[in-house]
Structure 1
Amino acid sequence: MRIAIAGGGLGGLTLARVLRRHGIDAVVYEREASRSARSQGGMLDLHPESGQRALAEAGLTGQFRSEARPDGEEHRILDPAGRTLVHHKPRPGSFSGRPEIDRRALRDLLLDSLPGDAVAWQRRLVAAAPRRGQGWELTFHGGHRVDCDILVGADGARSVVRSVLTDAGMSYVSTHVELNVEDVDRRHPDLADLVGPGNLWCMGVNQVLAAQRLGDGSLRVGISVRAEDRDLDTYRSKRALLDMFEGWDPRLTALIDASDSAPTPRRIEAMPIGERWTNQPGITLIGDAAHLMPPVGEGANQAMLDAAELAGQLAANPTDPDAAIRAYEEAMFTRIHPIAEMCARVQAMMLSPTAAEDVTRFFTARPSEPAPAA
């Protein structure tokens, strides 16, 4: 089987790694020029039943534990006046919950587990067409073409492969603005103390100001607001962002004031809950390409689990990959539906007029449940 994986994110790389452990080669086609071409974002918590399970099937649990930070599970929730509503502290050194790891470190871990020729860099897929008989012809930006027997779309929210299987649209669910504060311990020790080693959420009316501590000593600051009919340029000014949080405790808004980077806004979109496509031979989707959800901590975990389960089915059915794909898809659709519903509920709760009360009640009712990612 010549397997092509479109997209070198966490899902695509996990798929390539687990397949390789089963003795099946695959090539990952990635649009970026190199692993360091752009920032990989903040940190994420890997769940035992999904992300950690996928890493176990990839044979990378030991490497993951050497990079992960169990103390990153610490989670503080404040109101706009700076009062603490929830403060979750993990058991020191324990990997039994959802330890945090920087996305960059996790991606590097997966890349390092693959041979150098397993990833073809600077290959942005622009079209996929069925070949006569079977298989697919892939066309990349610049005109380069390759053939494959099986095509897996791991190419994210704007998936080219998805368009072959379904015309499902996406809905705009919120706006997210990202900023960064570098070298926080030395330059802003007060902010380092405020955020702690993990996540901080400050819950207002229809808006959230959050921060998370990264392994390189920086803070990733995020602002989330409800979907609004407003130009994204509105959010590119620190002054405009500070005005949005007028009246909040200055210790909290200092997260915006101290940022070293210009604000980077983007619209957050989601696919319809329960979206399915009709199975086609030799092609399928994983991760955001298959089930884009609001970013409340499940996306990367489910992408990695998709990858592990698809690899397992292909390894178990080497003479009938189409049956393997059908089995994977049916199980994935069933698994994802309640998770997508939960993600939508959490997103609505966090950006509601009564978010502080609702989120406090959510976590105090489940004191042992780790927090979703900001």
Structure 2
Amino acid sequence: MPAPEIAIIGGGPCGLILARLLESKGVVDYLVYERDESDGSNPNEGGSLDLHPETGQRALQEAGLFGEFERYARYDDTVFTITDKLGNRLVEIGQGRDAPEIDRHELRHILLNSIPKEKIKWGHSLTIVTLGEDGKHVLHFGNGLVISGVRLIVGADGAWSKVRPMVCITQATPKYTGKTVLATTISNANPLYETTAAKVGPGSSLAISSGKYIMTQRQGDGSYRTSFGVHSLDNNPFSGDIETTRRLLLSSTYYADWSEDHKALIRQATHLRAWPLHSLAAEDMGWMSVPGLTLTGDAAHLSFIGGEGVNMAMADSLQLALKIVEHGMNNLDQAVREYESGMFPRGIAGIEEGKVMESVMHGEDPGAFIQLVSS
């Protein structure tokens, strides 16, 4: 297999929007390498994303995909209801906000359908990047494929990027934040569905108390995704079976003193998948540019969840694509240097904003969160 001029590692929104932007601007010698065996993603995997005007939406506009996006965008799901742990409504915000929701799997399908099928190499899990004897970087995949001669490797491969170690000479590694999110989905077959739909309606409902939160959000198919955000010194305390996890969440350590409606969400959960949350540090930004390599999205500036992650990733891809087009394939190193000089301050701001969001989402009560999102 001949090496492409540009290898994009990762077929999530970040890598795919970069591929589409390059394709639409006439830069066609690229390939996307994705670890998934095919696009058989779970519709409930990853939940819903809100795309912002100057970042995610702008990238889609530049890519010529905004009209397709609007077919799936949910402008009425921007409403955010804040409650206390007893279920008392405190405030409702977000009406009319220009940040429509779209399910992650729907966005992925839009992007996949916008580039030639042969440009996606499924089942290619990158294991390591090395430096060859000729001074060029070599890609090693889990399926045995080894590729050298790529002129630009773009690490769009998320939190545990295999490209990052060759880019960041400080060997930056995400650190556990001490917070974990457990997620479940309330389908229309769940006994709680009608009650949840009546309480939450379009948009989301969030309760914060004693350093924990519960957020329920409507998805594109009408189901509701519920996330339980908790403190834990152990970054994998919920590794047991679902009944063990359920008992732990209902214990005095977590949600025992919350409303019966909130606890019913735990009791009726058909699955509870845990995500220990990690973040890079602001000090990890600002590496010396490495010829032939760069990072985008979470691979570059992973931060605490808060709605900006996919937007910043898509903004990275847009800026990188524009710089490649501006400088041409003969000046990729210059394009990368200029892209990174603009990405670093965005990344630092995103990491610092993530710290603020972490603090208010895990506050003693919803007051600080309400103040932050209302300002």
Question: If the length of structure 2 is used for normalisation, what is the TM-score?
Answer: 0.91
From 159, 163, 166, the equivalent of 2:165 is 163
Aligned pairs (5 A) from 1:1-374:
2-25=5-28, 26-38=30-42, 40-91=45-96, 97-133=98-134, 135-147=136-148, 148-166=150-168, 167-173=171-177, 174-183=179-188, 188-229=193-234, 231-233=237-239, 236=242, 237-243=245-251, 244-261=254-271, 263-276=272-285, 277-318=287-328, 319-353=330-364, 355-364=365-374, 366=375
Measured after TM superposition, the shift of residue 132 of structure 1 is 4.8
Unaligned runs of 5+ in 1: 367-374
Q: Separation in 1 of the partners of 2:305 and 2:189?
A: 25
Measured after TM superposition, the shift of residue 100 of structure 1 is 0.5
Q: Separation in 2 of the partners of 1:170 and 1:336?
A: 14
Measured after TM superposition, the shift of residue 121 of structure 1 is 0.1
The residue number in structure 2 matching 1:371 is: none
Contact (CA 8 Å) 2:182, 2:274: kept in 1 or not?
yes
Measured after TM superposition, the shift of residue 302 of structure 1 is 0.5
Measured after TM superposition, the shift of residue 275 of structure 1 is 1.7
CA offsets, 1:198-245, max 9 Å, x none? 111111111001111111121111111124237333694223212221
Partner AA of 1:358 in structure 2: A
Q: Separation in 2 of the partners of 1:77 and 1:339?
A: 24
Unaligned runs of 5+ in 2: none
Q: Separation in 2 of the partners of 1:337 and 1:195?
A: 34
Q: Separation in 2 of the partners of 1:228 and 1:160?
A: 26
CA offsets, 1:320-372, max 9 Å, x none? 1100000000000022222221111111121122x3121223334x2xxxxxx
Q: Separation in 1 of the partners of 2:8 and 2:70?
A: 27
| Cα 1:184–1:298 shift into 2, 3 Å | farther
Q: Separation in 2 of the partners of 1:156 and 1:229?
A: 22
CA offsets, 1:184-211, max 9 Å, x none? 6986211111222111111111100111
Partner AA of 2:14 in structure 1: G
CA offsets, 1:110-140, max 9 Å, x none? 0010111111000000122234556432111
Q: Separation in 2 of the partners of 1:31 and 1:304?
A: 20
- How many matched pairs? 359
Partner AA of 1:208 in structure 2: Y
Measured after TM superposition, the shift of residue 40 of structure 1 is 3.4
Measured after TM superposition, the shift of residue 89 of structure 1 is 4.9
